[in-house]
Structure 1
Amino acid sequence: MVDVAKNGFKRVWFITGASRGLGALMAKAALADGNAVVAAGRNVTAIAERLGESPALLPVALDVTDEAQAQAAVKAAVEKFGRIDVLINNAGFGLLGAVEESTDADVRRMYDTNVFGLLNVTRAVLPVMRAQRAGHVINMSSIGGYRAGAGFGPYSSTKFAVEGLTESLRAELKPLGIHATVVEPGYFRTDFLDASSLMVAKEVIADYDETSGNVRRRAASMNHSQPGDPEKLAQAVVKLVDAPTPPLRLPLGTDTLKAIAEKNAYVTEETETWKALSASTDFSA
């Protein structure tokens, strides 16, 4: 094993989906900050081309849906750097379409990556962090992980799952000295709305034209003009990792902040409206 301290690395990051988009930018920012990075993705050549060669970089092949590959990637990381301090579960993709328009096959494929793939990698990394009694698990969610809307129901459901898993992880890992955070980006100017990252349901049902159909049109017009700066997001994640007491949730982008405030206000109002009925279901004293 390599002694990380002697080699001068600040921390060792393990990032999934690191060949492009936010994953590649976070890897680049982590390297610039003096960290070692295990950059995992299906296309190792693309990772090497994007990030270059460095003694602080280990590109590893990883399809997160393959549990054996996740175990092998973690083993390679520990053999190279001796530890894993930060796990960023970034691999994932979206599905745009009404719930009824979304096929079983497409939804299951998305869950395999966004949820079950995240679990595969997390289960592979946690024994390392538990042995260290230190680490930080960062799960990439979305503005859609806090509030869902027309056109993104199945996708949001995967991110709602990520939010719930992260809340549980935080409670389970805190006594072991390990942090857990869910990051909730809004719309950032990446390729997420391209076909490489976003499936669009093939079936179009006319009854949903004003809801999900409208979202399809807006997504196409918004592509590559989103308000968020992805390089600033990468720098924000570096600051998150450096924080001595990181939060459970980190919303990124003014659009996410607005969505959270609006949903919180709605939940408060609706809860108050139905409070009497809600309270009436307890056993009588």
Structure 2
Amino acid sequence: MTDAITVRGLRKAYGKAVAVDGVDLDVHDGEVFALLGPNGAGKTTTVEILEGFRRRSAGDVRVLGVDPQQGDQAWRARVGVVLQSTGEFDDLTAREVVHHFAKYYPGAADPDEILSRVGLAGKQNDRTRTLSGGQKRRLDVALGIVGRPELLFLDEPTTGFDPEARREFWGLIRDLAAAGTTILLTTHYLDEAEALADRVGVLTGGQLIAVDTPARLGGRGQGGATVAWEGPDGPLSERTDAPTALVQRLAERFGGEVPGLTVTRPSLEDVYLRMIGAGE
């Protein structure tokens, strides 16, 4: 497996204030990687260094085999960036905006196909000021992928979306990943990371404290389960490392179905909050 991003010993300081402190990171070709962390953890600084927008203080960084600080126009054409907020094009139609940006790339995709791909074919002749928040975000992604990037950065892609719009946007991200695009996204939504990411990294205090799949992060897959049920005198629960055996005993006790039975393990949010609490 090759790596689209390789980072060793990344450090960024502003005088005596250290924003990123010795980060090592690998993002594999073709994977969706979610970078998690509280505000002020160093996520934005790290991503901006990877995008070539910010210079690092120390460390070695390779993005698509190139040091971002030395990235030329050809390298930038291989990288797509979708920021939290982009420029306003109120008086232009969605189609005009995408066709305009396509001219910046030597091997751009067909803008009309891109509009269809992001679900804006029916809105292509609408002024961008009339688009909904979710539709504007889809336009942002269209601008990020019209150059056929090998690597796409998404910064808080669904902030402010309603639940339906978020789920639709997730489908778009899955389609991009299925087509082979490597994606690095930052998000505060733990369900989003769990739904989209092959692996997640937790950044806190400028340090990357864990990298794993969502299912295994922080030993989540091996954590004990909580079995809960309705007893004669009210709700009961028990934490156990052998939930199947406990459920079997309860089934025997109740002679079949166990009333109010639930079996839960720590959620990704539970594990994440514990980890950033320890990191802080």
Same fold (TM over 0.5): no
TM-score, normalization by structure 2: 0.35
Higher helix share goes to which structure?
1
Higher strand share goes to which structure?
2
